[in-house]
């Protein structure tokens, strides 16, 4: 919030009406600030109320549900939860551009599958590969690069690449309600993590700039790394062999391995997140697990069971029974993307 106008107003009142007026106006302003809606892009209703109530109870010292700050861990999926994954995940667009670059240097790739399908823009082939297949292909096209070189490549791509259907830079495909939620949680002492099936180095290239989440708080699918001396410098090089694919049961396993605490809050959007949500709700104390349902065909894309890359089927059927709160994009969000692009 810009406080400069507020200070100017207070100074003017002080000169014209005296200290008592200043005191009264200041109290009113502070009261307004205190009552400011931390989640303005969320519609009033059961879901928003549940979030605000949850945060209020776990942060209120002396309350039965109070959680020490060190234990306030929140985990978020990325694709389809924090930004759009339609018609394919952002990383897949990055992969297509990478394959085009490699094919320009090696013409033999143009007639080899699945490279041929990517070069021809065959999105159905990508859908049929599923998230694991895309991850494995992604790994194979970046083997041999140092971690630093890949980070630079991904950053450069993110600065200029645009979504082919909306024409927006991919950084503008983030969900405004989720950006507000991340800030709201952090303002209340939560540590926020990304736990996603996307490539970990790819997400780390932009996680802090887009979401305010430091790269060390990003967990994702990864290639094996090898320590080598290259040009008289010690570096880590990506090897064409998967270290892990961060999906389904691997998500809670990696949370235990890399975070070391069971989260008290989690947010996902697909069957690939179901085990993470289950893991959170198996903890003790007050807990909250949310599942985003893409049911808004007007402002984004309505999809769930038939999206082969990242379907929402089992989790959708079992959410209520498991205590997972379903978030409707259509009903619960006032806006989807930032108002300047929505």
In this predicted model, what pLDDT tens digit does every residue of 224-263 receive, in sequence order? 999 999 999 999 999 988 899 999 999 999 999 999 999 9
Cβ-count burial 311-330 (b if 16+ within 10 Å, e if not): bbeebbebbeeeebbbbebb
- In the predicted structure, residue 168 carries a pLDDT above the cut 60: yes
- In the predicted structure, residue 273 carries a pLDDT above the cut 50: yes
pLDDT band with cut points at 50, 70 and 90 for residue 20 = low
Backbone phi, then psi, for 191, in 5-degree steps? -105, 120
Whole-structure pTM value: 0.87
The pair of structure tokens assigned to 317 is: 């059927």
The listed CATH number (3.40.50.1000, 3.40.47.10, 3.30.70.2190, 3.40.50.920) that belongs to domain 46-332: 3.40.50.1000
- In the predicted structure, residue 336 carries a pLDDT above the cut 80: yes
pLDDT band with cut points at 50, 70 and 90 for residue 22 = very low
Percent of the chain scored above 70 by pLDDT? 88
pLDDT band with cut points at 50, 70 and 90 for residue 24 = very low
The pair of structure tokens assigned to 244 is: 């892990």
The pair of structure tokens assigned to 3 is: 């406080």
Give, to the nearest 10 degrees, the angle between helix 90-105 and helix 123-140.
70
Q: What is the pLDDT of residues 59-69, one digit of tens each?
A: 999 999 999 99
pLDDT band with cut points at 50, 70 and 90 for residue 339 = confident
Rounded distance between C-alpha atoms, residue 124 and residue 79, angstroms: 18
Query: In this predicted structure, what is the pLDDT of residue 12?
Result: 56
Query: In this predicted structure, what is the pLDDT of residue 57?
Result: 98
Rounded distance between C-alpha atoms, residue 271 and residue 312, angstroms: 5
- Say how many CA atoms lie within 13 Å of 197 toward its Cβ: 29
Query: In this predicted structure, what is the pLDDT of residue 79?
Result: 98
Q: Is the peptide bond before 311 cis (omega within 30 degrees of 0)?
A: no
pLDDT band with cut points at 50, 70 and 90 for residue 341 = low
- In the predicted structure, residue 15 carries a pLDDT above the cut 90: no
Longest alpha-carbon distance in the chain: 81
Distances (CA, A) of 67 to 63, 70, 290: 9, 8, 19
- E-assigned strands of the chain? 73-76, 191-199, 218-230, 233-244, 265-268, 288-293, 325-328
Distances (CA, A) of 227 to 86, 138, 149, 222, 327: 36, 21, 15, 15, 44
Rounded distance between C-alpha atoms, residue 117 and residue 120, angstroms: 5
Q: What is the pLDDT of residues 128-163, one digit of tens each?
A: 777 767 777 777 788 899 999 999 999 999 999 999
Give the mean model confidence (pLDDT) for residues 293-308: 97
Neighbours of 78 (CB within 10 A): 28
3-state secondary structure of 325: strand
Query: In this predicted structure, what is the pLDDT of residue 3?
Result: 47
């Amino acid at each position: 919030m810009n406080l400069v106008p507020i200070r100017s107003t207070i100074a003017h009142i002080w000169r014209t009406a005296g200290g008592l007026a200043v005191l009264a106006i200041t109290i009113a302003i502070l009261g307004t600030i205190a009552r400011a809606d931390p989640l303005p892009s969320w519609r009033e209703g059961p879901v928003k109320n549940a979030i605000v109530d949850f945060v209020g109870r776990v942060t209120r010292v002396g309350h039965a549900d109070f959680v020490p700050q060190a234990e306030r861990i929140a985990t978020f999926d990325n694709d389809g939860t924090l930004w759009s994954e339609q018609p394919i995940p952002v990383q897949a667009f990055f992969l297509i551009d990478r394959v085009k670059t490699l094919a320009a240097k090696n013409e033999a790739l143009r007639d080899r599958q699945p490279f041929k399908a990517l070069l021809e823009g065959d999105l159905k082939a990508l859908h049929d590969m599923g998230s694991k297949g895309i991850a494995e292909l992604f790994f194979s096209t970046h083997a041999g690069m140092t971690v630093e070189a890949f980070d630079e490549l991904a950053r450069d791509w993110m600065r200029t690449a645009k979504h082919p259907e909306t024409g927006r830079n991919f950084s503008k495909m983030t969900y405004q309600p989720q950006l507000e939620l991340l800030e709201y949680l952090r303002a209340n002492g939560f540590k926020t993590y990304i736990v996603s099936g996307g490539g970990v180095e790819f997400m780390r290239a932009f996680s802090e700039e887009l979401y305010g989440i430091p790269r060390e708080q990003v967990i994702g699918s990864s290639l094996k790394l090898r320590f080598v001396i290259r040009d008289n410098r010690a570096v880590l090089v990506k090897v064409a062999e998967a270290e892990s694919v961060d999906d389904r049961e691997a998500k809670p396993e990696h949370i235990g391995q890399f975070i070391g605490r069971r989260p008290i809050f989690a947010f996902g959007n697909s069957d690939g997140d179901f085990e993470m949500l289950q893991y959170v709700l198996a903890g003790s104390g007050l807990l909250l697990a949310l599942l985003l349902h893409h049911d808004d065909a007007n402002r984004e894309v309505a999809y769930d069971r038939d999206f082969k890359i990242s379907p929402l089927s089992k989790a959708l059927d079992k959410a209520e029974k498991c205590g997972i709160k379903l978030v409707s994009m259509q009903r619960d969000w006032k806006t989807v993307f930032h108002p300047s692009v929505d």
